[in-house]
Amino acid sequence: MTNNQNPKYDLEERTAQFGENIIKLCIKLPKSSIVNPLIVQLIKSGTSVGANYSEADDAESKQDFRHKIGICKKESRESKHFLRMLVVAVPQAQEEAKLLWQEAKELNLIFNAIYIKVR
């Protein structure tokens, strides 16, 4: 982190850590015909949150910013869904997935509030 800001309030850092933690969880999971597609979907949605936030941060217009924040909102919600499905497929991952689900929920609420505020 390049600044002294609290990481909880630094969305660029927070979304990057979320994506990193999603990858770390997925690396540990057992591979199977059921789990593999869930891993792919979760990695796509979980890492997309930070990528789209970075794009929103460099938006060319207010409309572009709102659009990218909307994608962040959708991807964080999708991450919650796939974390839930993953726990069904791999119950032993529940504890770690629950923490990531909570972070996805908080990020979704943050992006929803930003999305509503930017009109």
Mean pLDDT of 104-112: 98
- Is the pLDDT at 4 greater than 70? The verdict is no
Domain boundary assignment for the chain: 48-119
**Residues ≥6 apart with Cβ < 8 Å to 25:** 93, 96, 97, 100
Output Rg (C-alpha) for the chain, integer angstroms: 15
In angstroms, rounded to a whole number, what is the distance separating the alpha carbons of residues 60 and 96?
Answer: 37
Of 5-19, 61-75, 86-100, 104-118, least confident by mean pLDDT is 5-19
Q: pLDDT digits over 57-78, tens only?
A: 999 999 999 999 999 999 999 9
Longest dimension (CA), the chain: 45
What kind of architecture, by CATH, is found in domain 48-119?
Answer: Up-down Bundle (1.20)
**Residues ≥6 apart with Cβ < 8 Å to 30:** 90
Look at the pTM and tell me if it is higher than 0.75. Answer: yes
- Is the pLDDT at 10 greater than 80? The verdict is yes
